Structure 1
Amino acid sequence: VIQRVKSASVTVDGQLISSIGKGLLILAAIAKEDTAKEAESMASKVLKVKLWDDDQGGKWKRNVQEIDGEVLCVSQFTLLASTKKGNKPSFHASADAAKGKELYDLFFGQIRKLYREDRVKDGVFQAMMDVGLVNDGPVSDDQPPQDMPTTPCIGLDFSSLDEEVQETQRGFSDLRLRQWLTLH
C-alpha cells in the first residue's frame, strides 16, 4: 500500500527512528510466493506512480521523484491477514521472517538505488512500531505485483461482485484472488 503524505514517521520504544516530509509512506507485505523479481519490479513501480498534480493543475501528473519527495518504507506483514475463517487474523499467506526480511531488504535497497539514498527512509523489520502520518488527500493505492499470475479462475462465482471487480478477478490465479479478496 502506498500513501501520499505530508509527513510520516516511525517510532520504536519511544525513540524516533525515521521521519519524512512530503512524499510516500509505503506499507510493504511479503507473501510466501513472492520473488526477488517481484520485489525489484514493485520498487520501480511505486517510484513511478503519479499521485501529484503538475504546476499547471493537471491531475495525477507527477511521481515522488518529480516532486523531490521523500519515501518511508515500513514492513507490514499484517496486510496479508485473512479473517475469512473467523475473527482471529490468519497470516498463512505471509512469508516467513527470513524470506520476508530478505525480500523486504531487496525492495527497500532497490528503491534507494533507483532514487536517492538520502530521500529514502526505513522502519525496523519485525519491530512493534508507532507509525505516524499526515495523509495528503487522502490518496492511497494498493499495488498488486506487476507479475501477477494470469491463470483463469475456473469454477469461482463472481456474480456478487460489481462488473469492474469481476473483470479484474478473472485474471488472477486462485491464490492471488483469495489474497486480493481478503484485502478488499
Structure 2
Amino acid sequence: MRAVIQRVTSASVTVNQTEISRIGKGLCVLIGIGTDDTTKEMNYIVSKILSLRLFPSSASSSSSASSLSLSSNPTPIQPAIHSTATKNTEHNQTDRHLTRGNILEQQEQEEPSSAHKEWTKSVRDIDGEVLIVSQFTLMAKTKKGNKPDFHNAMKTDLSKALYEELIKSLKSTYSEALIKGESIHPLLVPLNPTVYIVP
C-alpha cells in the first residue's frame, strides 16, 4: 500500500463536472492498494496519515500549502490537477531580485531552529480534515520499458473492501466528521488524474 500525502488549504474531487467531496485545511491523500496488502499495511498507513508532523507550530508561519482540485471526466480531455501555493506575494517579488550572495546572507540570518518549527504538528493537532482518494496508478511499475505495469495493483472488486476499511479506521481513530472518502468506483474512471512514482 502506498500513500501520497499533501497538506492543503483546501481540496476537492470533481467527477463529471460534479463536486463529490471537499475539505478545508488538512491533508489530501492518494491511496494505492497492492495485491499483497492486508489490514497490517492499512493500519500502518492510517497511523502515518494521522501522526506525521506536516504542519507548522503557528498559523503565522511562512510555510506554504496549496489548494488542490482533482477532476475526472469521461470525455477525451486530459483532466488537470490544479495546485496554487499560498505564499506571500511580497516575498515572491523579492525572490526574483535575490542574488547568490543575498541568498547566502539571508540563510545565515535565519534562526537555526526555524526548520524545526516548521514540522511540529500533525493533522490531529490542528483538527484538520482529511480527503482520501483511491489512486491505483501509485502501484505502477516503471523500471522496465516505457509503459506502466499495473500488475501490482489490487483489482477493484478486491480492493474496495480494504479501501472502505481504511476509511472506517480513520474515522474511528480520528473523527468521522473530518474524514472524507468517496466510493472507490467513481474515482477510478479511465481518465482519472494519474500519479506515478519513479523508480
TM-score where L is the length of structure 1: 0.67
Q: Report the secondary structure of 1:50's partner residue.
A: coil
Summarize the Cα distance change of 1:103–1:75 in structure 2 as closer, same or farther, 3 Å threshold. same
Q: Secondary structure at the match of 1:118?
A: helix
* Partner residue, 1:115: 174
Instruction: Determine the C-alpha separation between the residues in 2 that align with 1:51 and 1:89.
Output: 30
**Matched residue type, 1:125:** I
Equivalent pair of 1:44/1:114 in contact (CA under 8 Å) = no
CA distance in 2, matches of 1:44, 1:83: 28
1:41 to 41, 44, 49: 44
Structure-2 residue corresponding to 1:74: 133
Cα offset, 1:130, TM superposition: 6.4
> Which residue pairs with 2:21 in the alignment?
18
Structure 1: where are the runs of 5+ without partners? 132-181
Structure 1 CA distance, aligned partners of 2:55 and 2:142? 34
Aligned residues: 134
Displacement of 1:83 in angstroms is: 2.7
> Cα–Cα, structure 1 residues 27 and 59, in superposed 2: closer, same or farther, change >3 Å?
same
Q: In the superposition, relative to structure 1, how do residues 130 and 67 fare at CA in structure 2: closer, same or farther (>3 Å)?
A: farther
Gaps of 5+ in 2: 62-116
After the TM superposition, which residues 1-184 of structure 1 pair with which residues of structure 2 at under 5 Å, given as runs? 1-55=4-58, 58-127=117-186, 128=189, 183-184=198-199
CA distance in 1, matches of 2:55, 2:143: 36
Contact 1:80–1:183 at 8 Å: present in 2 too?
no
Aligned letter for 1:16? Answer: E
Question: What amino acid is aligned across from residue 123 of structure 2 in structure 1?
Answer: V
The CA distance in 1 between the partners of 2:124 and 2:139, in whole Å, is 28
8 Å CA contact retained: 2:42, 2:166: yes
CA distance in 1, matches of 2:198, 2:162: 21
Instruction: Give the Å deviation of 1:85.
Output: 2.9
Q: Give the structure 1 partner of residue 73 of structure 2.
A: none
Paired-residue identity, %: 43
1:65 alignment partner, SS class:
coil
- State the shift of 1:37 in Å: 1.8
What secondary structure is seen at the aligned counterpart in 1 of 2:118? coil
Q: CA RMSD in A?
A: 2.0
Other structure's SS at 2:11 match = strand
Q: CA deviation at 1:68?
A: 1.1
Where does structure 1 differ by over 3 angstroms across 4 or more consecutive aligned residues?
A: none
Q: State which structure, 1 or 2, has the greater radius of gyration over its C-alpha atoms.
A: 2
- Is residue 56–residue 119 contact of structure 2 (8 Å, CA) maintained in 1? yes
CA distance in structure 2 between the partners assigned to 1:80 and 1:130 by the alignment = 15
Q: Is the 2:143–2:198 contact (alpha carbons within 8 Å) kept by the matching residues of 1?
A: no
